[in-house]
Chains A and B, each alone.
Chain A
Amino acid sequence: DGGITQSPKYLFRKEGQNVTLSCEQNLNHDAMYWYRQDPGQGLRLIYYSQIVNDFQKGDIAEGYSVSREKKESFPLTVTSAQKNPTAFYLCASTKLGTSKQETQYFGPGTRLLVL
C-alpha cells in the first residue's frame, strides 16, 4: 500500500535527550513537511523540504533539526534545546509539478511526551 508512515506512535523523552521521529513515504512525493500540534491549536510548520539535501525552516524551527538524504525519508530530531517538546507531530508530503501539488497528505502522527 502507498502512504506515509510515522514511527514510533508514542515517544518518551528524558530531560537533555535528543530524540528522532521517523517519517517515510512511498508515494514518490517530492516535498515533505513537519508540523507540530498543541492542544487547542492548529498545526504549525517546523521544517519543510522540496528536494533531497535541501530543507527550509518553518515558523517554529528552534530546537529542531531535520535531514533529507533520501527522497522517501524526512526524519525530525527534537533536540535538548527544545524546552517544551510535548506535542503531537505530523509529517506530510506532496507531489510537485502536478495539478494537485498544493494538496498535502498526512501521516498518522507521533505523540511525544517528556518524562
Chain B
Amino acid sequence: AQTVTQSQPEMSVQEAETVTLSCTYDTSESDYYLFWYKQPPSRQMILVIRQEAYKQQNATENRFSVNFQKAAKSFSLKISDSQLGDAAMYFCASLPRGSNYKLTFGKGTLLTVNP
C-alpha cells in the first residue's frame, strides 16, 4: 500500500519570497511517479509538477521545482518568487507504475501568500 504524508497543514510566505512544502511517501515499488497538485479556492485541481522516480534530475516548471530524495522517500516542492496567485491547497501524490494509475494523495498543505 502507498502512503503519502504532508507534515505541514499550513504554511505562509511573503510575496516574492521562497517557500518549501514537504512531502514524504512510502512505497515498496521501485518504479513510480510523484506529483504536486494545486487546488485554489475554485477547487479545481491543477497539476503543478511531475517527477519520474527513475530520473535523477529534479523536475522544474518555471518558478516551481522539486527536491527529490529517493533514498529518503522525500519529495518537497519549492516555490520561488511567490505570487498572490500561488495561494492554494497543495497536494502531493504518488502513483506506482503499472498500478492501473491509482493515485494516492496526501492530506494537503494550505499555503497563504502575504502581500
Residues of chain A at the chain B interface (Cβ within 8 Å): 31, 33, 40-45, 48, 50, 56, 58, 88, 90, 92, 94, 96, 100-109
- 8 A-B pairs in the complex with CB atoms less than 8 angstroms apart: A40-B108, A43-B105, A94-B101, A102-B33, A102-B50, A104-B101, A108-B44, A109-B43
CB pair B44 A109 closer than 8 Å: yes
CB pair B43 A108 closer than 8 Å: yes
Kindly name the residue among B35, B95, B103, B105 whose own CB sees the greatest number of chain A CB atoms within 10 A: B103
Residues of chain B at the chain A interface (Cβ within 8 Å): 4, 33, 35, 37, 42-47, 50, 91, 93, 95, 97, 100-103, 105-108
Residue in B47, B100, B107 whose CB lies within 8 Å of A105: B47
In the assembled complex, the CB of A56 is this many whole angstroms from the nearest CB of chain B, namely: 7
In the assembled complex, the CB of B17 is this many whole angstroms from the nearest CB of chain A, namely: 26
Q: Given A88-B43, A106-B44, A109-B44, A101 and B101 touching (CB < 8 A)?
A: yes
A104 to B47, CA, bound (A): 8
